[in-house]
Amino acid sequence: MLQAQLEDGRMIMLAAYRKEQIQCFRHAHFFCPVCRRPVKIRAGKKIIPHFAHVHIQDCEMERKGEGFYHLRGKLQLYHWLKMQGYTVNVEERIANAHRRPDLLVHAKDGKKIAIEYQCASISDDELMSRNEVYQQRGIKAVWILGGNRLKRTSTYLLHLPKREQRFLMKQKPNLPLQMLYYCADAQAFCNVQHILLTGKKQTVGQFYYRSLQQTKFPQLFQPLPKYQQAIDLAWERLQSRTTAKPLTYAPRSVKQWIMQIYEKGYFLQDIPVSILLPVEAQYSLSVPPFIWQTDLWLNQLHPAVVGENITLAQLLYTCRRWETAIKPFAVHTTKHPVETYMEKLCQAGLFEQNQDGSYLKKKASPF
């Protein structure tokens, strides 16, 4: 932890003091601000001055498992915000809650922003617990992942497992999905925007790098230029790869999908990539788009004749088995992925939405 409490109640952040002053502090008694147990000073030529429990304790500060990379990044972000004129505190206790975010920003309008710099893995329960505390107290939470967790696999591809997708953000309806990373070694942000979830670990996105000193806090949440053609091409290549991939080691859900296609009298190659489309709320479904979208076509959209109407309720009923309760906490959207998908099919001229919300089939199925 970066700061601890003296016997007289004062909070001391060692990194804010000179070496001589830190040496004087070694004769004082410090206590953990959470569990109130003794902590000791750790400072040297190669490490950031900080505190650690004298004995291993079951304490929130200890469970965070802060390494030097995390401490360094947290301190850099603290000074960065201070230089911009923000009132920010390190590890400040949330009133009436046993929570201390890495940084707590006090905005001029009275609002508070909790910044969590997460360099290590965190359980679903712990993540949910922290966010519930922030939401209940009207505190906006911003999660910035450590640069050590960024796994870029190509120009427009990011390795993003389900557990990492919990940190997706969308601050306003008109903003794109994004992931924020900060590297304490390079002192730079990586802002991944225009994210297209594939339902698998490989995720399409656009990467923007900017040094800490060249970045202002509000800029982290501004939409950045989108290279639409390149993003679309990366998506199409992933979908084409899926239909051409050997199925020997495919998961059960994929094998069931293949069997359904065969049972309907089609081959995998008959499914056109043009109907496998990205939707923003893919995180709310447990299977990749190529499974649930094909499922919609085989059971609802394809059997319908041109001129026939299909209700949204029918389509939602078909997809109900794929829905999941685990969703990113910082994404606020009301549209179901099926609704977004049908909007795209309408834009392609395959369907037309009626005034009552149903969909009129305008063209024959593309397979």
pLDDT per residue as tens digits for the range 215-266: 999 999 999 999 999 999 999 999 888 766 656 667 787 888 888 888 888 8
At position 334, the amino acid (one-letter code) is T
> Is 333's pLDDT higher than 70?
no
The predicted model gives 166-190 an average pLDDT of 93
> Is 305's pLDDT higher than 70?
yes
No. of helices (H) and no. of strands (E), the chain: 10, 19
Look up residue 182 and give its two tokens: 């900060």
Q: Which residue has the tokens 């400040």?
A: 92
CA distances from 130 to 68, 80, 120, 177, 350 (A): 23, 24, 15, 21, 45
The predicted model gives 263-276 an average pLDDT of 88
CB 214 within 8 A of CB 230: no
Q: Which residues pair with 204 in a beta bridge?
A: 157, 196
The predicted model gives 295-323 an average pLDDT of 95
pLDDT in tens, 48-80: 788 888 876 667 665 555 688 999 999 999 999
Residue-range domain boundaries for the chain: 1-63, 65-244, 245-361
- C-alpha to C-alpha distance for 90 and 74, rounded to whole angstroms: 8
The predicted model gives 328-351 an average pLDDT of 90
Residue 172 pLDDT class (50, 70, 90 cuts):
confident
The predicted model gives 148-174 an average pLDDT of 92
Q: Which residue has the tokens 């919990």?
A: 166
Look up residue 101 and give its two tokens: 């975010």
**Average pLDDT over all residues of the chain:** 89
Look up residue 226 and give its two tokens: 């989108």
Exposure of 36 by Cβ count < 10 A (0-12 exposed, 13-18 middle, 19+ buried)?
Answer: exposed
How much is the pLDDT for 14?
Answer: 81
How much is the pLDDT for 66?
Answer: 63
Q: Which residues pair with 304 in a beta bridge?
A: none
The residue count for the chain: 367
The predicted model gives 7-34 an average pLDDT of 82
The predicted model gives 16-25 an average pLDDT of 82
